[in-house]
Structure 1
Amino acid sequence: MRHGFLGRRGGVSTGIVAGLNVGLGSADDPEAIAENRRRALTAVAPGAALVTVYQVHSADVVTIDDVPAERPRADALVTATPGLALGILTADCAPVLFADVDAGVIGAAHAGWKGAIAGVTDATIAAMEALGADRGRIVAAIGPCIARASYEVDDGFVARFCDQDPANDRFFSPGRPDHAQFDLEAYVAHRLATAGVRRVELLGLDTYADDDRFYSFRRATHRDEPDYGRQISLIAL
């Protein structure tokens, strides 16, 4: 399965989004975004047709068999159609790529904290099964995302997760008063394993801490920057 997690290097965008910005929601030059998307696709799956979604931090999944006229509002895609490249955009959230090689079914999910706790990875696995995949054969990889050391949350955030499952407390470590540090990557890996995915690869790369390599929404916010770039993760049959 052709796949890759791309960062910000190698693109044509300039200014505060300099690099391989693929975010249609940014204020970047549309021609630069289009060229960056072309370069990303060529690097991972030359000749494939790129399909992305209008991400809304949900657990919604769409099954794709052709390039839609408009981007569906969802946070994950699955397909069994050769020649399609599924793309997920992130800037701190966790991109997750899925594959059942034997069945010829792939998936890609955008797992921010809202989508993760709502079950976007579980929904992606279920949608893959509807196309003939077996969750026991599915392998998954979690790409660059904000790491525990960089992800400060308040006590209300912690309560949301612990109200769902008290064992979720393990994904938080103490921070400054009334705050904690959240391990999004570990939480997403836990959801995948609990759903029956036996092989989960974690890249362990912190988007917030590596300005030269990755875009980060939280870093841009802390710097009071007016815009931020998005990187893309791709998988294709």
Structure 2
Amino acid sequence: MTDAVSPAPIQSALLNEATGSAIMHGYFTREGGVSDGIYRGLNVGLGSNDDREKVSENRRRVANWFDLPVERLATVHQVHSPDAIVVDGSYDGTRPPADALVTATPGIALGVLAADCGPILFADPENRVIGAAHAGWKGALTGVLENTIEAMEGLGARRETIVACLGPSISQASYEVGPEFVERFLGEDPSYKRYFVASAKPGHAMFDLPALTVARLRAAGVRAESLGVCTYPDSERFFSYRRTTHNQEPDYGRQISAIAIRET
């Protein structure tokens, strides 16, 4: 399979400034893949109904961007949990149920998939520890961000030297939720009211998942930013579960965000 266009991921200025050339990262879009139809572009979702060979080729292209074989692209079976796992040199391609990965091993790219949920990449360049987390509303609320940081600390990272960036995800302008959703968050913390504004639909609200994500990262003691890019309106660059649902399409692709420590 060939394609004239190579993947061209978005990057975080904060991560680039903090890590220099020691750590590579990218928030990949649909650009540079071989899938077609509703999966057009760089669909890396093994859970989608896309042609398996095309998904495998797309994943190979992501790994190649890091100058790594596809066997060194580590992902998990994402289940909207707060769980983070440690990946090391023994990684064998297994995808356990979890929503975050951390490593101190060079030459392994940690990847998380998303199609509206938040992909967060973490790096402690001083102690050479990295992480990647998938945080939808459930993961963000139940602690996947904090658990990723704790797992990184278990490998020698320190909060004061960790930086993190939230990649392309659904914005408040595109995320309408019902009253039971709002009640669940306010039951957890009444101050979360600040992440909701009334929508045009009675009893409903628009939810600011990116703001909650960045606030929880900062409250956990790490420097954090958001790219401020919304997946929902930009069908040329991003897959979106919510857009797929609204368009009554049968399935959707997933984009990947990944990070790796360079081998010395």
TM-score above 0.5: yes
Q: Structure 1: where are the runs of 5+ without partners?
A: none
Alignment of 1:51-90 (within 5 A): 51-65=74-88, 66-90=90-114
2:55 corresponds to: 33
Deviation at 1:159? 1.0
2:232 corresponds to: 208
Instruction: Give the TM-score of the pair, scaled to structure 2.
Output: 0.87
Shift of the 171–73 alpha-carbon distance from structure 1 to 2, 3 Å rule, reads same
1:177 corresponds to: 202
- Indicate yes or no: 2:44 matched with 1:22: yes
Aligned residues: 235
1:10 corresponds to: 32
Alignment of 1:1-237 (within 5 A): 1-43=23-65, 45-47=66-68, 49-65=72-88, 66-175=90-199, 176-197=201-222, 199-237=223-261
Report SS of the residue matched to 2:156: coil
Shift of the 69–3 alpha-carbon distance from structure 1 to 2, 3 Å rule, reads closer
Rounded Cα–Cα distance in structure 1 between residues aligned with 2:196 and 2:64:
39
What are the Cα deviations for residues 109-133 of structure 1, in whole angstroms up to 9, with x where unaligned?
0001111100100000000001100
- Among the aligned pairs, what percent are the same residue? 58
Shift of the 75–41 alpha-carbon distance from structure 1 to 2, 3 Å rule, reads same
- The letter for the 2-side match of 1:151 is Y
Instruction: Give the TM-score of the pair, scaled to structure 1.
Output: 0.97
Deviation at 1:69? 4.4
Shift of the 110–211 alpha-carbon distance from structure 1 to 2, 3 Å rule, reads same
What are the Cα deviations for residues 132-151 of structure 1, in whole angstroms up to 9, with x where unaligned?
00011100000000000000
Rounded Cα–Cα distance in structure 2 between residues aligned with 1:69 and 1:91:
22
Runs of 4+ in structure 1 off by over 4 angstroms are none
Deviation at 1:103? 0.5
Paired residues of 2:74 and 2:93 also in contact (CA < 8 A): no
The one of the two structures with greater contact order (alpha-carbon pairs below 8 A, sep at least 6) is 1
- The letter for the 2-side match of 1:64 is V
What are the Cα deviations for residues 153-175 of structure 1, in whole angstroms up to 9, with x where unaligned?
01110111111111111111111
Deviation at 1:40? 1.5
- The letter for the 2-side match of 1:181 is M
RMSD between aligned residues: 0.9
Rounded Cα–Cα distance in structure 2 between residues aligned with 1:146 and 1:167:
21
Deviation at 1:68? 3.1
Paired residues of 1:215 and 1:230 also in contact (CA < 8 A): yes
